Structure 1
């Protein structure tokens, strides 16, 4: 397994400011003479090239303006929308990439489609390139395909992606944006789920590269990785049945009852509670996500628990008195 890439030395603030200035200059004046001056600045110092690479990366994340920045897209007549985007990127250049700043940049991008599911709903959606999305309960995904990349943004929930070869030439990378970083598919099938403070990637086929803006890591088939903005640990073997939700099942292997009920609750609008006395009870089995009554009956038939119904459904220890 590849080791985590060491972070490069921090760029001097003055260099980042110069790159931001050049970004706006090229937008306002894309003449041959101006591009030549930019090229001289770019080639004069390795730090200049690194700063420009960061700018290109930020623009790629925006889904609006393709790199390289000297592309003819920046040489068209200025528009308020494009100027606002470039101003946002210029501001981000002088701050660390990632976290809420990058997420704000995604919010300003022109996403051209959105697919979503309600609580208890799952959806199969075929993208323009033939790739297939499986959306889990209460999930929203934005789509921004252009001539440079195939980009999705996972707003909330969980999605499985099965990528197809890009019909366009040259081929475009397939990326998924999350608040914790960018995922780039390497010919693959994978799922990603957002939690309150972190995200979980599970790779079923191929490999996925996670890029947080300062660090990156490759995750191969059969592995999973839960990470956040501060921590990008080593991948671990994927949990058995991690993608069973795509078939309407929840697979548990010694899962605490409290956690299993929380997972079932994501697919229903009932208020589910667990008696603290049995919250840590390890539970195994396969439970249907769409049939809560059946799942509760299976639990009651296998374990010493019972479901008490009222304003909410509470799992409590079974009454075993004769």
Structure 2
């Protein structure tokens, strides 16, 4: 958003609160007296006009109030539903327009697809704009691509995204959201995994701008780097794990990872529980293991590391144990 967005971030909370207050007052009382008072406030300071412009754009983004807002559009008859929309917009004024809270306005987007994969399934999609989306096992994604935006919402699981140059001009932002934050692609190939309350992002090409869900705090992650984040905090940025995207070709590639972690990753591809005894949980494991055949991968681990495979009734669980265990 350039210099304009930077200017918006310098608006004082007091001015933004005044704009939010006028938003509600004009909704409740659109009389000529109120409009005249609003006009005097609007014209008294350039920051007032900028704050009101921000309110107008937020209202337009919501899709529930016509873009040609100004003060006239606020003179429509009051209603509980309309007041609720305006109250939400007023709250958003105190956050950066490019922050995560603005993303909440997209919840009313026309989600035109809901790709899902079952446990053990992977899927490759070519989106309407030419971008390629690969879904890992047990993954749920929502998609909304229209004339203004390219939006994806990752509910759970893992995706590998390769963005295409937007055929439309001006180009539409490509945004992938998870419950932890919003990721805007900057000409990019990247991997995202969301589980529990955190999201792991690995950027393979280009860069991705991340905004946290709770605070709107932002960070740009460049190619070769990865970061894990929750809704309110970033962890330390690290180098991308080698072959982190190998799952797209059906392989799990690890280098000196603890056995328990390796089994957790393999376990995502089957319904039965997969684990190990605490005594060998930190055993370092390296190698490449087929994801479409977890039983074969377990057998490989047992052979290489001289472990015993113990299976429960009807294959409900599998545990690796030291070979000497009884």
Shorter chain as denominator, the TM-score bin is 0.7 to 0.9
Task: Establish whether residue 318 from structure 1 lines up as the match of residue 323 from structure 2.
Answer: yes
In the alignment, does 2:237 pair up with 1:235? Answer: yes
1:111-148 alpha-carbon deviations (Å, 9 max, x no partner): 23211111111111111111111011111111112222
- State which of 260, 266, 269 in structure 1 corresponds to 2:268: 266
- Per the alignment, do residues 90 and 56 of structure 1 end up closer, same or farther by CA in structure 2, a change over 3 Å counting? same
Q: Distance in 1 between matches of 2:233 and 2:226?
A: 14
Q: Distance in 2 between matches of 1:202 and 1:126?
A: 21
- Greater mean alpha carbon deviation, residues 205-214 or residues 275-284: 205-214
Establish whether residue 12 from structure 1 lines up as the match of residue 13 from structure 2. Answer: yes
Instruction: State the match for 2:23 in structure 1.
Output: 22
Indicate the residue corresponding to 1:87 in structure 2.
Answer: 86
Note the alpha carbon deviations across 1:79-121, whole angstroms, 9 max, x for none.
9999478336325327768999778765554423211111111
Instruction: Report what 1:41 is aligned to.
Output: 42
Q: Are the structure 2 counterparts of residues 99 and 295 from structure 1 closer, same or farther at C-alpha, using a change threshold of 3 Å? A: farther
CA distance in 2, matches of 1:224, 1:100: 20
- Supply the distance in 2 between the matched residues of 1:248 and 1:137 (Cα, whole angstroms): 11
Q: TM-score, normalization: structure 1? A: 0.79
Question: Structure 1 unaligned runs (5+)?
Answer: none
Cα distance between partner residues in 1 of 2:59 and 2:322:
54
Task: Pick closer, same or farther for the CA change 1:38–1:288 going to 2, 3 Å.
Answer: farther
Summarize the Cα distance change of 1:275–1:233 in structure 2 as closer, same or farther, 3 Å threshold: closer
Answering whether residue 126 of structure 2 is matched by residue 126 of structure 1, we say yes
Q: What secondary structure does 1:92 align onto?
A: helix
State how many pairs are aligned.
Answer: 310
Task: State the Cα distance separating 1:161 from its structure 2 match.
Answer: 1.0
In the TM superposition, what is the alpha-carbon distance from 1:304 to its structure 2 partner?
2.2
Q: Which has the larger radius of gyration?
A: 2
Instruction: Sort the Cα spacing of 1:305 and 1:38 in 2 relative to 1 into closer, same or farther, 3 A.
Output: farther
Hey, what's the Cα distance between the residues in 2 that align with 1:51 and 1:242?
45
Partner residue of 1:248? 250
* Superposition CA RMSD, Å: 4.2
Give the Cα separation in 1 of the matches to 2:297 and 2:159.
23
In the TM superposition, what are the counterparts of 1:107-122 in structure 2 within 5 Å?
107-122=107-122
Q: Deviations over 1:230-268 (max 9, x none)?
A: 323452110111111111111111111111111111110
